[in-house]
Structures are given as structure tokens and as C-alpha cells.
Amino acid sequence: MRKLRIFIISLAMLACAVPGVAQTAEPTPGTLHAAPAAAAEDAKQQAEMAENIKQLQELKVQNEEILKQQQAALEALDEMQKEAEQLRIYSKRG
């Protein structure tokens, strides 16, 4: 009877130990989800990059407009300087 009890307890321990060992031997499913996560991250980075490029292009257009305005202001100042020189020349003659 004692041998039967030891046999049953040993069999129960073995039955509980086998699934525990089998669970630790299986690969974790997290590695399977790494590829979609990386793809989602790449898509996010590409979307951010596209948004950054769009903003840079808008800034470029704004800078070109500012440069045109500055060029027009410089030309107007040059004209005013030429007119001022002509006034000095005419005022010395008169």
C-alpha cells in the first residue's frame, strides 16, 4: 500500500512537471510580433519624414518670398541713394 501511494504521488508530480517544462521550452510569442511592430514604426517614421519634408518645402517658399521682398527693398534704397546724390550735385551747382 505504501508503494502504491509513493507511485501515485510520483506520477502526480511527474504529470505536473511535464507541462511546466514544456511551457518554458516554447519560444516566446513576442518575437513573432516584432516584425509588425517594426513595420508600424517604419510607417510612422516615413509619415513623420513626409511631414517634415512638407514643412521644409513651405519654409523654402516663404524664404524665397522674403528674399524677393528684401531684393525689392534694396533696389528701392539704391534708387533713393542715387536720387540723393543727384540732389547734392544739383544743390552745389545752384
Assigned C-alpha cell, 67: 528674399
Supply the pLDDT for residue 40: 81
18 or 26, higher pLDDT: 18
For residue 2, pLDDT beyond 80? no
Supply the pLDDT for residue 22: 58
pLDDT digits (tens, 9 = 90+) for 32-78: 555 567 788 888 999 999 999 999 999 999 999 999 999 999 999 99
Q: In angstroms, rounded to a whole number, what is the distance separating the alpha carbons of residues 13 and 70?
A: 87
Q: In angstroms, rounded to a whole number, what is the distance separating the alpha carbons of residues 78 and 84?
A: 10
pTM score of the predicted model: 0.48
